[in-house]
Structure 1
Amino acid sequence: MLKYGLFLALTSLAMTVPSVSARANDATTAAVADKDSVCPAILQHKVRKLHSSEEIDLCEAYQGKTLLIVNTASNCGFTPQFKALEALYQDYKDQGLVILGFPSDNFFQEEDDEKDTAKVCFVNYGVTFPMFATTEVRGDDAHPIFQELEQKTAAPYWNFYKYLVSSDGQSVQRFSSKVEPQSDELLTAIKKQL
C-alpha cells in the first residue's frame, strides 16, 4: 500500500511539473514571438548580399536602427549619388543610421551581372554601406520590403528613391531621386529620427 501511495504521489508530481523539453519549447516560442513583436515587419526577412552567397537576417543585423533604404542602379543619371550616400553613411552610422542599397533593374538601368553591379558600387564609388542582390522594387514581383514601403508610402517612381524608416519601423518618409543625400530636407529628417 505504501508503494502504491508513493507511486500516486510521484505520478501526480510528474504531471504538475512541466518537462524540461516542454519548458525549452515554451522559451523558444516566446523568444520567436518576442522577436516578431519587437522587430518591425519591414525587417523580418533574410536578404542575400550583393555578389555573394551570404544572407543577412535583417532583424538580427539592423533592428533598432534608423534606416535609409534606397533602390539603386548602376547606369542611371542619379548613380553618382552613391558618393553622397557613402558620405552620409560615414557621417551618421555611429549615431544609428544604416543605409541599405537594393540594386534594381525595374527601370532597365542595372547591369545584367551582379559582379558588374558590385564593381560600380564597391570599386567605382567606394560604397561600404550594405548592398544587396538585385531586387524587384515595383509591381507584383516586388520584394516584400518594397511591398511594405509601398503600403506605407508609394512604390519608387525611379532609381535612387530614398525611404527613411524610423528605428521602430512605424514611420516611413519617402524622398524622390532628385532629393540629394546631403540635402537639407533629407538631413533634417534623418536628424529627427536619430
Structure 2
Amino acid sequence: MTTDSTVDVHDIPFLTADGSTATLADYAGKVLLIVNVASKCGLTPQYEQLEQLQRAYGDRGFQVLGFPCNQFMGQEPGSMEEILEYCATTWGVSFPVMDKVKVNGSHAAPLYKALKKAKNVEGAKGPIMWNFEKFVLTPSGEVHRFRPQTKPDAPEIVAAIEASLPH
C-alpha cells in the first residue's frame, strides 16, 4: 500500500452542509474516510457500504465524511437540502455530508488540492478521476488513496481503517 505522509490537511478549512466552517482537526484522533459523493452516479450505491463502515467502526474512532461534487457529468445537481434528504431517505446516511465542493481544477477545494498529492496503490497521484474517490486519513496523518471503483468495504480499505483505529 502506498502512502504519502507529507500531506497535512488537518487545519484546512471547509464548509459543512449548514455553511459553518470546520477542519479535519475537529475529528482529531479519528481514522477518517473522505469521499467525494454524488447522488446520480453509477457508483452511488457505495453510500450503502460507506454507511455500513460508519456503523461498524464509528464507536471505535472512525468517521466517514462525504463531500458532494457536481464536476463529473453533473451527477450531483441538487441543492444541499435535496442532497441531505436523498442521502438520509435513500441510503440511511448518518455520517456528515459537507457542503458541495469542486475537487479538480483551479477552483478545487483546498482540502482536495492537498489530498490529491497522495498516491494511490498504483503510485498515481493528481486529479480525482470520478465520484467516490476515497482517502483514508490516519490519526498520524498518513493518507491512503483509493480509486472510485474500489468499494468502500474492499479488503484494502478495511485493512487501512482497522490498522489505524485507536486500541
More helix by share: 1
* Residue of structure 1 in register with 2:15 after alignment: 48
Matched, 1:162 2:127: no
* Residue of structure 2 in register with 1:68 after alignment: 33
SS at match of 1:78: coil
Hey, what's the Cα distance between the residues in 2 that align with 1:57 and 1:141? 18
- Quote the offset at 1:57 in angstroms: 4.0
CA contact (8 A) 2:102 2:109 kept: yes
The worse-fitting range, judged by mean Cα deviation, of 66-75 and 181-190 is: 181-190
Matched, 1:133 2:99: yes
Q: One-letter code of the match for 1:163?
A: F
- Quote the offset at 1:43 in angstroms: 2.0
SS at match of 1:151: coil
- State the superposition RMSD in angstroms: 1.6
- Quote the offset at 1:63 in angstroms: 1.4
CA contact (8 A) 2:118 2:145 kept: no
Hey, what's the Cα distance between the residues in 2 that align with 1:173 and 1:146? 14
Q: One-letter code of the match for 1:74?
A: S
CA contact (8 A) 2:13 2:111 kept: no
Q: Bigger radius of gyration, 1 or 2? A: 1
TM-score by length of 1: 0.73
Aligned length: 152
Hey, what's the Cα distance between the residues in 1 that align with 2:10 and 2:87? 23
SS at match of 2:92: coil
- Quote the offset at 1:193 in angstroms: 1.8
Matched, 1:78 2:43: yes
Q: One-letter code of the match for 1:45?
A: I
Q: Runs of 5+ in structure 2 lacking a partner? A: 1-6, 120-124
Report the CA distance shift for 1:190/1:58 in structure 2 as closer, same or farther (over 3 A).
Answer: closer
Hey, what's the Cα distance between the residues in 2 that align with 1:165 and 1:102? 15
TM-score by length of 2: 0.84
SS at match of 2:70: coil
The worse-fitting range, judged by mean Cα deviation, of 174-183 and 65-74 is: 174-183
Higher relative CO (Cα under 8 Å, sequence separation at least 6) belongs to: 2
